Structure 1
Amino acid sequence: MKVWAADELPRRRGKSVRHAMQNMLAGIVALSESLRLQRPDGGHLPVLLDRPDMVNFLNRLAFLAETGKISPYTRINLVRHTRQIMNRVRVLGLTGPGQPLESLPASFALSLQDIPDEPGDTEAGRDLPDEVMRQLCDNLDLLEKSSSREVRVAVELLIDTGRRPDEIATLPLECLRKDPDGKLTLVYDNHKAYWLGRTLPISKATAAVITAQQEAVRRRFPDTPAAELKLLPSPVANPEGKKSITTIGDPRRAWVVSLPDFLVPVVVEEHGQPKLVMLPFDKSKIFLYAYRCRRTCECAQPRTSERAQFLRCGESRFGSLLLGLFGWRRAADDGLGSASLVGTPAVPRSLRVRGDEPVGDLEGDRAEPPHGP
């Protein structure tokens, strides 16, 4: 595992590298425990391992998930990570002569078909209702008054783009770029998948928010080169504007709690008849990643004109929400058109990591767009 870790670590970025690596190794720990419990030799003789041992491992995880010992998501991740590591150790030659896993049979492996299906309706259950999103957008001025301009802009961009909080918080000042069609795009770094310099098409309203923030930052730090400034500079111990904001969640949470109840329509049964009533929405479900879920769900559904009319945060702010998912964009403003991927991979495709799953695959590269983890 040390050889694998030394190979994997250079491709990891972000603040939670250790946690991500530990999660991946948890799959190998679960596999070792399965071999120890179900094989007479405890799995200490690699040459004797075979496909039935992997089947036993999969069956054991299924049993643990059915009995509530692990969640369905944990089961999926354990299988996915185990498969990724087992594939990688073979690519690294660790099963060759004189290597730690010498003579490990090729049949002792996992295929794509072994990864359990994702539980249904995963994102929809975390999607924020239209009424909640509308009320949040209507009260952004209160967020700025209770916290800072940077927090307000960060939340606006989270809503508009569906990017991760750390991807928005660490944006450089010069984060706008025109595409070949002359339209503005947001340039950001996907640290989790080490996909640097990705571009995301944005609406004019979103571009206006960024442009106004850029002007405010330049006025605040006139002596610092623009290339060294952050779009959302920290207000603490940051005399030159080179440090990014570090706190978005706490002031945003306080703002959400301070707002009046979010009333959403719910159908209840009264005297045997359905009745539409307005009930308070649980504020604990309004978290930072819920904006990302909202965008994911919207982009996964047909983009009808009726669906796109529910939110008016500015003249066309919701347009950013529907421009595509994780780097995909429409070829035309009206209608879906064809989609194209924009962004430059920071590592070769065969080594690129997409979330927890490598794009390079021992079973052959799959011709599909990389998804944001």
Structure 2
Amino acid sequence: MSLAPSTLVYELAVPVDPAGWESWLIDNLLAEWRPGEWNAEALLFTGDFANPLTWVFPCKVVACMRRSLTKGGACGSCTARMRREGLTADQLVIIPGTGRDPATGALPRCAVSQDNVRCGREVSAEGLCESHSEKWPRYLRDHQGANRERWASGIALPMTARPGCGVAGCADQVAGGRGLLCRYHAGRRREAIRRGAVCSEAQWAARDAPWLAPHQFSLVPLAPLVRLEFLYALQRREARGAQIAPGTLRQTIGMLLTEDTLAAVDPDRFPVNSTNRLYTAHELIHWVHAGYSEFRGLDPAQQDTVELRTLGLSSTKTRSGRRTRSGTASLASIQQGWLRSLLVSWARLKQPESQEFSATRKACIVASTALSLRPGGGHDPAALRLVDMDAVVDACAVTTRPDETLYAYATRKQRKRKFGDLLEFARREDLLPELSPKFAVQSYHRIPVMEVQEEDEAGKAIPEYVIRQLDEQLASIGRDRAYGPLRPEDTHWLMKTAYMVCRDTGRRPREFCGLALECLRYEDGQYTLIWDNFKGKRLKRSLPIEKSTAEAILAWQRRRLQLVFPQHTDSYLFPAIGQVAKTPHLSSHEFGQVLRAWVDGLERIDSDAPDEDGTPLPFDRSKVFAYAFRSSYAQRHADAGTPLDVLMALMDHRNASTTMGYYRVTIRRKRQAVETLRLHAVDRRGNTAPFPSGVSYEQKSVAVPFGGCTEPSNVKAGGQKCPIRFQCAGCGFYRPDPSYLPAIEDHVRELKADRELAEAMGVDDFVIRNLSDQVTAFQGVIERMNERMTGLPEEIRAEIQEASRVLRKVRATNGRTLLPLTVVNRQETNR
């Protein structure tokens, strides 16, 4: 770098040594940066379209040597000619040797030559320089009929070149043989003087840019210090994968002409969500501030806030991995200096994605809080011991959200893992030699699974009465949202089908959005959905679905084949739009936005709670989102008494405890259900036998498969000591209620099957008679309870049905859906 330090005095945002800052910049600039493109002497960048890191491309017009700023486009000159002459790129003819040189920007030289010596001056008109343009008419007057080409190639004497223009990087010669400026820059100076500028030729030459082609930019117009800052930021930005776009940088330079130093410029002056030039200025100033802090000896770890882009975070949304959006993260809650420094060093070396950095930072906050309560506050890494790590793990196990509710098990486990990974990285990279080897995560450090009894686990599910209201207004979903080139009717069709699949199958958003085009299988009169469990890494799963759902999918498949979508989306039921989509299918984010806009735009969605006038209150629309339909699907099955193992298979869970979460019922709901059903208990003959209280219902009976039992010895043994081996229909202590109706009906079917098998085996008559009598007795119980239910008012029946669903879920959770004699293996397996 040949720039000499400037003697100017700059006003900085904070006191600083200007000469030292300038010297630091010079020392930290790359000496060999962009050879062949960057001219350090002239402060001129000339983009090479062969360099993939430079945003310039060859003109698409054959024989044109100029550059285009768009891939597959034409240069500005050819674009103007095609528009003016009404020609296409293939029809346009380029005359060689006219205009400025596309690579250097220099004007062509005069055509006069003699003895292989060519005139060194620039063309002024008709291929001749200014001097020869004046001499040729005079020669023609004296020599009528003379040939200009013969005169230029053997008669006229070549002229020596004039001095070069005083503007750095300008390839033109001074105008008229005197002064410092060429014709181009002299004209620019005269125009500036007419606008009121006061400047000498030397001052103008020191701050004006040369004639620039579209693939060039110059730092000459900037203040001396800003030149160094701009170049430093440009190099640091490129090191993170950014391309050089000469056109954008030329515009950015134009916005910084009045600045004396970028270290004192607020980057927020340039909105990042505006034009490319404003965004680029914002980004470059951030890099200058990062370098300025380093020059002053400020460690980012010592600051309460760090800038994520200059910290080194990567992005999954750009091909280069460069983070393009600005953002900050607070380190104020990390009290230990060594832990802050370790987090910053890890981020710079590993260049993690934003999500990974955020998770690790949160783990450090939890660990820092735990260590601050230990003797010494955890400030000396050499003094940390195993008991300190115990405290950190214990803190991870009980970390809570801002509303003081416990985080999910996976989140608490992640906190511990991320902190342990950070310490291992520090030891592997020797980032913290003084860190005690005793301060490490051990095998016994585990996060316990802590069950939290929520007010109502089913609250995550969308109530069925709300889903019915949504279905009634389904005709409007997706109609007011553009989805690529699709017509509103086709967009509605796509989104309606996606909603129906979401509602009826209970799959996660990513799972139904990513369904294959051929996702249906038809066997033995039953449709099966073929889907992929991405979360569990289990592919080609099968799910029985209703005929109506299958018909909706088939209708969309037929319509989809009539529409035009990008080729890479051909194998998906719900295709993405555009070549640059993150996934080749409809994204869960896109569907979520459509669902949110549709639900928020509906005229009304009523809840089941009335106001003072009896009018239904509005339902909280924020509870309607794509994943909630998965809970609704499971809730429907749980309310219908679907056995745990069946629902576990439908949800594709490997861990029974995960499925049992959909069966959990709060104490309040259970108590309400008991108070309702205790009044409708009957004896084995169907006569009313209500319990005096809810406490009596629970204390003086036990749940057996087909009802309640009040026999004292069996109650004492928790349902394990039935004197007559669970032949409940013949027992005077039998107390069924409507919540047992599904179980009784199932048992009747089992008894009939057992009777047929017994008859085929040729057993004694008393066995057949016993089975038949049990069938008759249980059928009598069913008939009499149904008769009683029919005679009740509709609102009472609805209350009993809801209470029955609640108690069936309680029994499913307790595992009492089978005979007590059955052994159930409850060993959990990994999901």
Please report the TM-score for the alignment, with normalisation by the length of structure 1: 0.58
Task: Report the Cα distance in structure 2 between the residues aligned to 1:196 and 1:205, rounded to whole angstroms.
Answer: 25
1:191 — aligned with what? 534
Q: Which residue, 618, 621, 635 being the options, matches 1:283? A: 621
1:172 aligns with 2:516: yes
Q: Given that residues 24 and 82 in structure 1 are in contact (C-alpha distance below 8 angstroms), is that contact kept between their aligned partners in structure 2?
A: yes
CA deviations 1:105-137 (Å, max 9, x no partner) are 775743353x43235246422322222110111
CA deviations 1:165-219 (Å, max 9, x no partner) are 222222221222468x774332223334443333333222222222222222223
1:48 — aligned with what? 385
Partner amino acid for 1:368?
Answer: T
Give the secondary-structure state (helix, strand or coil) at the position aligned to 1:74. coil
1:232 — aligned with what? 574
Q: Given that residues 123 and 293 in structure 1 are in contact (C-alpha distance below 8 angstroms), is that contact kept between their aligned partners in structure 2?
A: no
Q: Given that residues 58 and 79 in structure 1 are in contact (C-alpha distance below 8 angstroms), is that contact kept between their aligned partners in structure 2?
A: no
Give the secondary-structure state (helix, strand or coil) at the position aligned to 1:266. strand
Q: Given that residues 61 and 75 in structure 1 are in contact (C-alpha distance below 8 angstroms), is that contact kept between their aligned partners in structure 2?
A: no
Task: Report the Cα distance in structure 1 between the residues aligned to 2:438 and 2:648, rounded to whole angstroms.
Answer: 51
Q: Which residue, 495, 499, 509 being the options, matches 1:151? A: 495
Q: Which residue, 652, 668, 673 being the options, matches 1:326? A: 652
Q: Given that residues 47 and 104 in structure 1 are in contact (C-alpha distance below 8 angstroms), is that contact kept between their aligned partners in structure 2?
A: yes
Q: Given that residues 295 and 322 in structure 1 are in contact (C-alpha distance below 8 angstroms), is that contact kept between their aligned partners in structure 2?
A: no
1:127 — aligned with what? 461
1:13 — aligned with what? none
1:4 — aligned with what? none
Task: Report the Cα distance in structure 2 between the residues aligned to 1:82 and 1:46, rounded to whole angstroms.
Answer: 23
Task: Report the Cα distance in structure 2 between the residues aligned to 1:165 and 1:296, rounded to whole angstroms.
Answer: 15
1:117 aligns with 2:445: no
1:245 aligns with 2:580: no
Give the secondary-structure state (helix, strand or coil) at the position aligned to 2:542. strand
2:475 — aligned with what? 141
Task: Report the Cα distance in structure 2 between the residues aligned to 1:57 and 1:110, rounded to whole angstroms.
Answer: 7
Task: Report the Cα distance in structure 2 between the residues aligned to 1:121 and 1:19, rounded to whole angstroms.
Answer: 34
Q: Given that residues 165 and 288 in structure 1 are in contact (C-alpha distance below 8 angstroms), is that contact kept between their aligned partners in structure 2?
A: yes
1:292 — aligned with what? 630
1:367 — aligned with what? 828
Give the secondary-structure state (helix, strand or coil) at the position aligned to 1:249. helix
Task: Report the Cα distance in structure 2 between the residues aligned to 1:223 and 1:85, rounded to whole angstroms.
Answer: 40
228 and 261 in structure 1: CA distance in 2 versus 1, 3 angstrom threshold: closer
Deviation at 1:144, TM superposition (A): 5.5
CA deviations 1:32-88 (Å, max 9, x no partner) are 3146422545583599314x74246525874x64xx756424374553224556899
Q: Given that residues 76 and 118 in structure 1 are in contact (C-alpha distance below 8 angstroms), is that contact kept between their aligned partners in structure 2?
A: no
Q: Which residue, 395, 412, 435 being the options, matches 1:79? A: 412
117 and 248 in structure 1: CA distance in 2 versus 1, 3 angstrom threshold: same
1:261 — aligned with what? 604
Q: Given that residues 533 and 539 in structure 2 are in contact (C-alpha distance below 8 angstroms), is that contact kept between their aligned partners in structure 1?
A: yes
Partner amino acid for 2:500?
Answer: E
Task: Report the Cα distance in structure 1 between the residues aligned to 2:354 and 2:522, rounded to whole angstroms.
Answer: 36
2:507 — aligned with what? 163
Q: Given that residues 298 and 322 in structure 1 are in contact (C-alpha distance below 8 angstroms), is that contact kept between their aligned partners in structure 2?
A: no
Which structure is higher in strand share? Answer: 1
Gaps of 5+ in 1: 1-16, 306-320, 329-333, 337-365
Q: Which residue, 195, 204, 216 being the options, matches 2:547? A: 204
Partner amino acid for 1:117?
Answer: E
1:220 aligns with 2:566: no
Task: Report the Cα distance in structure 2 between the residues aligned to 1:84 and 1:223, rounded to whole angstroms.
Answer: 41
Tell me how large the CA RMSD over aligned residues is.
4.6
Q: Given that residues 532 and 539 in structure 2 are in contact (C-alpha distance below 8 angstroms), is that contact kept between their aligned partners in structure 1?
A: yes
137 and 369 in structure 1: CA distance in 2 versus 1, 3 angstrom threshold: farther
Task: Report the Cα distance in structure 1 between the residues aligned to 2:553 and 2:509, rounded to whole angstroms.
Answer: 16
Gaps of 5+ in 2: 1-351, 429-434, 482-490, 655-744, 748-826
Give the secondary-structure state (helix, strand or coil) at the position aligned to 1:209. helix
Size of the aligned set, in residue pairs, is 284
Give the secondary-structure state (helix, strand or coil) at the position aligned to 2:510. helix
Deviation at 1:280, TM superposition (A): 1.9
161 and 31 in structure 1: CA distance in 2 versus 1, 3 angstrom threshold: same
Q: Given that residues 506 and 630 in structure 2 are in contact (C-alpha distance below 8 angstroms), is that contact kept between their aligned partners in structure 1?
A: yes
79 and 134 in structure 1: CA distance in 2 versus 1, 3 angstrom threshold: same
Q: Given that residues 396 and 413 in structure 2 are in contact (C-alpha distance below 8 angstroms), is that contact kept between their aligned partners in structure 1?
A: no
Task: Report the Cα distance in structure 1 between the residues aligned to 2:468 and 2:385, rounded to whole angstroms.
Answer: 61
Deviation at 1:221, TM superposition (A): 5.1
Rg comparison, structure with higher value? 2
Deviation at 1:102, TM superposition (A): 6.2
2:763 — aligned with what? none
CA deviations 1:209-262 (Å, max 9, x no partner) are 22222222223359969x94221123x437xxx942342233333322332312
222 and 214 in structure 1: CA distance in 2 versus 1, 3 angstrom threshold: same
Task: Report the Cα distance in structure 2 between the residues aligned to 1:198 and 1:43, rounded to whole angstroms.
Answer: 53
Identity of aligned residues (%): 22
Q: How does 1:85-100 map to 2 (within 5 A)?
A: none
Task: Report the Cα distance in structure 2 between the residues aligned to 1:209 and 1:101, rounded to whole angstroms.
Answer: 63
Partner amino acid for 2:385?
Answer: L
CA deviations 1:295-318 (Å, max 9, x no partner) are 24334x34249xxxxxxxxxxxxx
Please report the TM-score for the alignment, with normalisation by the length of structure 2: 0.29
46 and 324 in structure 1: CA distance in 2 versus 1, 3 angstrom threshold: farther
Question: Looking at both structures, which has the greater relative contact order when contacts are Cα pairs under 8 Å and sequence separation is at least 6?
Answer: 1
Partner amino acid for 2:594?
Answer: P
Give the secondary-structure state (helix, strand or coil) at the position aligned to 2:628. helix
1:29 — aligned with what? 364
2:640 — aligned with what? 303
